[in-house]
Chains A and B, each alone.
Chain A
């Protein structure tokens, strides 16, 4: 049997949900909350604990954008590409991030510090274009501000 890689809290959460119908997505959310992404080992552990085939879990994980298959950087950067942000230059921010930090969408910096994700609407269209770093929101971002914002996380 594989080693249980989850914290006591997570194991407890899973057992509380074990017999509830429709538990899988809720469990996967909790797993990602704890380890930042859904690793192969984590998916296998969920399969074991919920007693469902690994293929079923992998089917769900790969269907939904929210579940990540790769380990994110220390700071995950989200650039909004909702319509309002797109019209106001969200794509220019992504280009700039590539220029100043060598980041591509879905990628990670060599030192593992930043990862970049393009997201659909973080819900503050009044501040467009928007990017978030580690949960902190930066609104009305211009191309010239990008490098300075990254420096704050040095």
Chain B
């Protein structure tokens, strides 16, 4: 949104008085918001209608009410309301709350529109925390005051990261939070502001309206505009738009209910009830309550529209399951096979990485024959240069070398954690191997890590979220890949954990409580969760005690044989490479100095550097 330029105003008039007269500023609005600001807000609201559920930034102005007291809703209302409108304002469903009273006074005072408490007469309803019980008409606008517009804030504190997650529809962390909630509490314990998926695209915060009101936004006839003044965001649910609460397919979304509760004033059992005196309930919507008492409400239509089918029913809940005692064995993977006309799943060509200036110009004078990786020309570090290999399904390739030889750099370039200076990477799963993976956008490359590339880090903490359960860590990968059945996710996680020999009684414990070896097993299970075609292992046993490492190595050997993935194993330890791989590349100072079948290299190393590595492994 660009600032209005001054020249268009200043060229036309001479005095400040004329300038003021020339800028559209009706006298009645002088109290709160100037016309230019209203125009900006309307533009933002129109953008919001065009992209349902997307948070549109806007130049939120300071209002005569505190930020948090409806300054966003007030700006939206002032921007859309005209003198011919009739406005209703509620807080907690009540027309007479202090906040509602105060806002109504400000709106009607500055716009000169009519006010009402009857939803049927209102053309604009501004509300905090409720959707009126009376269904709104097709032309009506519901303006909701929003304290916190970001549905992901609870799972991600960085606003830049939240923006990225929305842009890429990367919502697995909020799914994991629902999974964890179910594991720990047996129900989804989120109360108000329940996250919803709007129009199948954006996850949106439903302000803090109760869950009771959430289904009432789904395909509603009216327009809902959400104004967050403090955080400077407007978003919208246009009429007839899908609004679907986030929950697993087999876990019912529940609205608030209390057994046998009815309104102590009007007797309704199909409204949102709040505590009313001790041990009693009353309608939070005071207008509806009064009209039911007066016999002026279409109770039948209301009952038909009320979310009674979503009242809690313990029998339907997935329940707080114990970890499954028995699991079915992990089913065999489905494979895409090789790239067209080839026999590889992964092909890396002439990959190079230079840290520092010069790019390819930094390469001459570096490498094993010069005994340095530092460029004599530019001072840059040539971490890896001219590395190429391909890997077939079911094959494991080793990259071995001392620390600093560039083997992990190659792996990081491959997976996208570092940008390669040169080279290409092709995957059978991407465009049948015709597209260079390095040419993809960062978002596309992140996507590959969900179901094409599995990565096992040396440090389990780099691949796991430590405060999340073992099952939840696997659920992160599965939900990212689109899994939406709680039972299926748990069954798959249990099968994976069982396969990597993590006791299932630990499935619902946070991995922070696990030993190093156990964490590494969970990380391996997570990497295998979606049966990726390519498995990348970076020093998978290096951080472990010798006896624990031996167990993990045995496990990996079995898995590589069984899962039919193309694997790349990086290690400084010839023992690991020998145990896991068929072919190997020996790297020194960023170059490949020798390659061949692993057992031959191990038996009969030619290069002196390889001989040293082999000798070290045999000690």
Report if A and B associate in a common complex. Answer: no
Interface positions of B (Cβ within 8 A of A): none
